[in-house]
């Protein structure tokens, strides 16, 4: 893949984002690339003009996103109609989806511009909400759709069907429906499994279920999930990727299915998925390496 045009997006709330954007802009222009700025960061650094994110996705061969996972999720949602690769530069504390660390930015982009990179097509979900006589498209998510009782004092009942077949009625604080990408987000904190991105599947994970045997379940990517909310109180909340929220009332339904859209992420040239699990999630223990040496969580051998 030949990259000639690059778009830059940044979380303007991050202190480092203006300086990092200017540095990378100059570096890319010096290499003869055509560089476009998203309107928010363009205004922040005093550039002449910027482009709305959805339009920016149609103008470039690669998007570089400065920020954390929230910035990646927002970008993925806004450019879902455009199959453009995204590389995330981590300006946050954690940054699981922003795989490239700031100190390795130029080296990583040298490799990417030379064509030495791999991409991952990440599954997304479409979410529709039915509120009585009205059905509307809530949105498309990369991580998850979450029903939460919010400020309600009682648990909610979540009547759940899969492909129009009754699964169960969860009595819980809420329900997470997640992609493999979202398996390492809220779902993981709620006791769900880690699912490799290549395994296109859908996770249903109850939040603090009243019945302890209601464990997370993995469904095929073809599954169509419908959840009806039942509560004696006034409303609950549906949240999409932790960013867009909708208030729902008793009797409303949420339908979730695999989207036709995908998010294309550029994998870090410096580490693979299993290294990221160890380094950023602290996953795993301290297994023994070669010749009896002990490996720490990062894979480094110790005597």
Domains of the chain, each with CATH number or no CATH: 5-117 (3.40.50.10330), 124-260 (2.60.200.30)
pLDDT value of position 176 = 98
What is the secondary structure of 12-33 as a DSSP string? TTSTTHHHHHHHHHHHHHHTT-
Checking if the pLDDT of 116 tops 90, the result is no
Q: Give, in order, the Cα–Cα distances in Å from 197 to each of 64, 181, 223.
A: 21, 6, 17
pLDDT confidence tier of residue 288, bands split at 50, 70 and 90: very low
Distance, in Å, from the CA atom of 248 to the CA atom of 188, rounded to the nearest integer, reads 25
Looking up tokens 């909340």 gives 237
Query: What mean pLDDT is predicted for residues 26-41?
Result: 96
pLDDT value of position 134 = 72
- Name beta bridge partners: 174: 148, 207
pLDDT confidence tier of residue 49, bands split at 50, 70 and 90: confident
What mean pLDDT, rounded, does the chain reach? 89
Query: Which residues make Cβ contacts (< 8 Å) with residue 267, sequence separation at least 6?
Result: 99, 117, 118, 119, 120, 273
pLDDT value of position 67 = 93
Percentage above 70 pLDDT, the chain: 91
Q: Which of 69-78, 93-102, 277-286 has the highest mean pLDDT?
A: 69-78
Q: Round to the nearest angstrom and report the end-to-end CA distance of the chain.
A: 44
Checking if the pLDDT of 50 tops 70, the result is yes
Q: Are 197 and 121 in contact (CB under 8 A)?
A: no
Looking up tokens 């202190």 gives 15
pLDDT value of position 278 = 79
What length does the chain have? 303
pLDDT value of position 286 = 52
- Name beta bridge partners: 288: 294
pLDDT confidence tier of residue 285, bands split at 50, 70 and 90: low
**3-state class of 203 per DSSP?**
strand
Residues recognised as catalytic:
69
Q: Exposed, middle or buried: residue 130 (CB in 10 Å: 0-12, 13-18, 19+)?
A: middle
pLDDT value of position 185 = 92
Token couple for 274: 């299993």
pLDDT value of position 213 = 86
Helices 17-30, 105-113: inter-axial angle, 10-degree rounding? 40
Residue 157: CB atoms within 10 Å: 17
Taking the mean position of all CA atoms in its chain, how far away is CA 298?
A: 23
pLDDT confidence tier of residue 296, bands split at 50, 70 and 90: low
270 or 115: which leads in pLDDT:
115
Backbone angles phi, psi at 60, to 5 degrees: -125, 165
Pairing of strands 174-178, 144-148: antiparallel
Helix (H) or strand (E) holding 127: strand 119-131
Q: Which residue in 85, 120, 131, 102 sits closest to 24, CA to CA? A: 102
């Amino acid at each position: 893949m030949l990259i000639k045009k690059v778009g830059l997006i940044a979380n303007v709330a991050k202190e480092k984002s203006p300086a990092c954007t200017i540095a990378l802009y100059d570096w890319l222009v010096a290499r003869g690339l055509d560089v476009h700025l998203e309107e928010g960061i363009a205004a922040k650094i005093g550039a002449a003009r910027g482009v709305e994110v959805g339009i920016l996705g149609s103008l470039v061969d690669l998007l570089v996103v400065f920020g954390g996972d929230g910035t990646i999720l927002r970008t993925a949602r806004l450019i879902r109609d455009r199959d453009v690769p995204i590389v995330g530069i981590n300006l946050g504390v954690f940054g699981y989806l922003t795989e490239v660390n700031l100190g390795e930015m130029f080296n990583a982009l040298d490799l990417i511009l030379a064509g030495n990179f791999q991409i991952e097509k990440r599954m997304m979900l479409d979410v529709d909400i039915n509120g009585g006589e009205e059905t509307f498209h809530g949105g498309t998510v990369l991580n998850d759709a979450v029903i939460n009782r919010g400020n309600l004092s009682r648990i909610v009942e979540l009547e759940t069907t899969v492909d129009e077949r009754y699964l169960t009625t969860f009595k819980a604080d809420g329900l997470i429906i997640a992609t493999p990408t979202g398996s390492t987000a809220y779902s993981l904190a709620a006791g769900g499994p880690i699912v490799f991105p290549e395994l296109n599947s859908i996770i249903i994970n109850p939040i603090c279920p009243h019945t302890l045997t209601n464990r997370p379940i993995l469904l095929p990517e073809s599954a169509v999930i419908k959840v009806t909310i039942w509560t004696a109180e006034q409303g609950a909340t549906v949240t999409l990727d932790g960013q867009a929220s909708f208030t729902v009332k008793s009797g409303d339904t949420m339908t979730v299915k695999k989207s036709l859209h995908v998010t294309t992420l550029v994998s870090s040239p410096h580490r693979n998925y299993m290294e990221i699990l160890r380094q950023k999630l602290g996953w795993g223990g301290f297994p023994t390496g070669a010749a009896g040496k002990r490996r720490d969580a990062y894979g480094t051998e110790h005597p």
